[in-house]
Amino acid sequence: MSKVLVIGAGGVGSVAVHKMAMNAGIFTHISLASRTKSKCDAIAESVRARTGATIDTYAVDADDVAATSALIEAIRPKLVVNLALPYQDLNLMEACLATGVDYLDTASYEPIDEARFEYHWQWAYHDRFREKGLMALLGSGFDPGVTSVFAIWLKKHKLRTIRTLDILDCNGGDHGQAFATNFNPEINIREVSAPARHWENGKFVETPAMGFKQQFEFEGVGPKNMYMMYHEELESLARFIPEMERARFWMTFGDEYIKHLTVLQNVGMTRIDPVIYNGVEIVPLQFLKAVLPEPSSLGPTTKGKTNIGDIATGEALDGSGEKTFYVKNICDHEDAYAETGNQAISYTTGVPAMIGAALMLTSAWRGEGVFNVEEFDPDPFMAMLNEQGLPWTCEELAAPLAF
Ligand code: NDP
């Protein structure tokens, strides 16, 4: 009997519970709780219509540790899967510690008043989880998540050492809107407007946001401009693959997206500090989120593919000198929508969240303390990606990246 409690009824939470219901042998009982219960109910109804499975739904404010602990006590799950927002990570970890339950998430903690998403706040919980014999698995989405597992899989099967690593995240989907984000707009815009950071020769090098642009030909999508930016898996990868000379993260953005974002930044709409409006304190970025389309509403109109992968160069395991490999997944927005009612960004995050949860519940991945996905055997995760809708390929490239 493996009971799971998922918190967060957005696009990612929706995909995760649909996929859990499709793996009923592992997830024997699924509960979904979020701030707005009607969103949980709508997801439960979709899951019932698609799979016949019943999901229990609850309202909870995950920032209220006592209320969340009481809900966990009432349900007694083996695992809490946090698919709310990064702001809730520490409070949900506290609730798991208070109730003796394992924890999983897909995005590192970020303080609400500072756009600085980093792992050290959560790594600091390691001893408290270890002392209670509990496990917390951090960053089990696509990036972070699959991209980290790709790198560790390359180290296990192809490269003795990784000298350079580039993570390339391309969303070639078109949702038909002038401006919308594919996951939570507030988190997305904070991430994109933060300064870029990449790992080079043992330290992080900071450069202006969107300061480096590169065109790349993405299979299934075509040529796209991608921009170097910071992403939290660089922090965990630098820790777990310490020999890396350089690690970078790139994400594609269309010219329309950049144009809108630039204007929004210039007029102050992406500010995360409060301003007074009509005598009330509002945070401009939170207000902007309220007027932008909900990511979960983009599913029916989004067409095209995502293509996300790792390009790694290093010394080949078979002693044949320096080699470059490219591991990637291509995911179709319309296929993702047909299967779960959500577009591919939610799908590519929700499926690995389900896989990480499955590996924890079956003890294929087990430990006491706080862990990142890089610390476990990549093979069962990679096998489940192929079985659960995110098939991957690995090819050898003729040469390292020229940029
Ligand atoms: P959404 O904004 O669509 O959904 C978030 C959900 O969490 C909403 O239902 C929201 O409730 C709920 N929520 C927010 N605050 C609270 C709270 N205090 N208590 C209870 N519920 C709360 O986001 P997404 O589904 O797009 O993303 C979910 C998570 O996945 C985010 O942390 C995001 O950073 C992460 N992510 C990770 C990726 C990866 O590859 N690793 C990629 C994409 C996303 P309400 O509806 O009431 O606002």
Q: Do 207 and 154 share a structural domain? A: yes
Please give the distance, rounded to the nearest whole angstrom, from the Cα atom of residue 209 to the centre of ligand 1. Answer: 24
Q: Do 234 and 125 share a structural domain? A: no
Q: Residue 96 belongs to what H/E stretch?
A: helix 89-99
CB within 8 Å of 156: residues ≥ 6 apart: 377, 378, 379
Percent of the chain with pLDDT over 90: 87
Q: Do 258 and 132 share a structural domain? A: no
**Is residue 58 included in any domain, yes or no?**
yes
Rounded mean pLDDT, 261-290: 92
Query: Measured from the CB, is residue 10 less than 6 Å from ligand 1?
Result: yes
**Is residue 371 included in any domain, yes or no?**
no
Q: Do 160 and 94 share a structural domain? A: no
CATH code, domain with 317:
3.30.360.10
Whether residue 114 has pLDDT greater than 80: no
Query: Measured from the CB, is residue 304 less than 6 Å from ligand 1?
Result: no
Determine which residue's CA is closest to atom 44 belonging to ligand 1: 183
**Is residue 356 included in any domain, yes or no?**
no
Choosing from 117, 138, 159, the residue where a domain stops is 138
Would you place residue 116 in the very low, low, confident or very high pLDDT band (cuts 50, 70, 90)? confident
pLDDT tens string 317-350: 999 999 999 999 999 999 999 999 999 999 999 9
Are the CB atoms for 271 and 289 separated by under 8 Å? no
Query: Measured from the CB, is residue 12 less than 6 Å from ligand 1?
Result: yes
Query: Measured from the CB, is residue 187 less than 6 Å from ligand 1?
Result: yes
Query: Measured from the CB, is residue 40 less than 6 Å from ligand 1?
Result: no
Rounded mean pLDDT, 36-57: 97
Query: Measured from the CB, is residue 71 less than 6 Å from ligand 1?
Result: no
Task: Name which residue leads in pLDDT, 61 or 255.
Answer: 61
What is the count of structural domains for the chain? 2
**Is residue 353 included in any domain, yes or no?**
no
Rounded mean pLDDT, 296-306: 90
Name the E strands within 60-186.
79-82, 102-105, 135-138, 164-171
Per DSSP, what are the bridge partners of residue 4?
30, 79
Please give the distance, rounded to the nearest whole angstrom, from the Cα atom of residue 162 to the centre of ligand 1. Answer: 33
Whether residue 295 has pLDDT greater than 90: no
Nearest residue to 118 (alpha-carbon basis) of 146, 86, 141: 86
Cα(123)–Cα(98) distance, rounded to whole angstroms? Answer: 18
Nearest residue to 305 (alpha-carbon basis) of 403, 218, 211: 218
Nearest residue to 213 (alpha-carbon basis) of 247, 238, 248: 248
Q: Residue 297: its pLDDT value, please? A: 85
Q: What does DSSP assign to residue 251?
A: E
Q: To the nearest 10°, report the CA torsion of 39, 40, 43, 48.
A: -140
> Looking at ligand 1, which atom is closest to the CA of residue 106?
41
Q: Do 151 and 134 share a structural domain? A: no
Q: Do 153 and 265 share a structural domain? A: yes
Query: Measured from the CB, is residue 85 less than 6 Å from ligand 1?
Result: yes
Query: Measured from the CB, is residue 107 less than 6 Å from ligand 1?
Result: yes
Q: Do 182 and 121 share a structural domain? A: no
Please give the distance, rounded to the nearest whole angstrom, from the Cα atom of residue 94 to the centre of ligand 1. Answer: 18
CA angle at 336 for the pair 333 and 342, rounded to the nearest 5°: 90
Please give the distance, rounded to the nearest whole angstrom, from the Cα atom of residue 130 to the centre of ligand 1. Answer: 27
Please give the distance, rounded to the nearest whole angstrom, from the Cα atom of residue 87 to the centre of ligand 1. Answer: 10
Cα(86)–Cα(194) distance, rounded to whole angstroms? Answer: 16
Q: Do 32 and 165 share a structural domain? A: no
Whether residue 280 has pLDDT greater than 90: yes
Q: Do 257 and 166 share a structural domain? A: yes
Q: What is the mean pLDDT of the chain?
A: 95
Please give the distance, rounded to the nearest whole angstrom, from the Cα atom of residue 188 to the centre of ligand 1. Answer: 11
Please give the distance, rounded to the nearest whole angstrom, from the Cα atom of residue 36 to the centre of ligand 1. Answer: 12
Q: Do 220 and 114 share a structural domain? A: no
Task: Name which residue leads in pLDDT, 187 or 275.
Answer: 275
Q: Are strands 164-171 and 305-315 parallel, antiparallel or unpaired?
A: antiparallel
Choosing from 85, 114, 138, the residue where a domain stops is 138
**Is residue 83 included in any domain, yes or no?**
yes
Whether residue 259 has pLDDT greater than 80: yes
Lowest mean pLDDT among 101-110, 253-262, 388-397: 253-262
Query: Measured from the CB, is residue 43 less than 6 Å from ligand 1?
Result: no
Q: Find the domain containing 157 and state its range.
A: 146-342+391-397
Q: Do 250 and 107 share a structural domain? A: no
Would you place residue 136 in the very low, low, confident or very high pLDDT band (cuts 50, 70, 90)? very high
Determine which residue's CA is closest to atom 4 belonging to ligand 1: 10
Q: Do 134 and 55 share a structural domain? A: yes
Please give the distance, rounded to the nearest whole angstrom, from the Cα atom of residue 4 to the centre of ligand 1. Answer: 17
Cα(138)–Cα(107) distance, rounded to whole angstroms? Answer: 7
Query: Measured from the CB, is residue 88 less than 6 Å from ligand 1?
Result: yes
CATH code, domain with 85:
3.40.50.720
Determine which residue's CA is closest to atom 46 belonging to ligand 1: 36
**Is residue 207 included in any domain, yes or no?**
yes
Q: Residue 1: its pLDDT value, please? A: 67
Determine which residue's CA is closest to atom 13 belonging to ligand 1: 84
Q: Residue 193: its pLDDT value, please? A: 85
Please give the distance, rounded to the nearest whole angstrom, from the Cα atom of residue 244 to the centre of ligand 1. Answer: 32
**Is residue 380 included in any domain, yes or no?**
no
**Is residue 35 included in any domain, yes or no?**
yes
Whether residue 112 has pLDDT greater than 90: no
Rounded mean pLDDT, 21-49: 98
Choosing from 138, 157, 188, the residue where a domain stops is 138
Are the CB atoms for 237 and 151 separated by under 8 Å? yes
Q: Percentages helix, strand, coil for the chain, rounded to the nearest 5?
A: 40, 25, 35
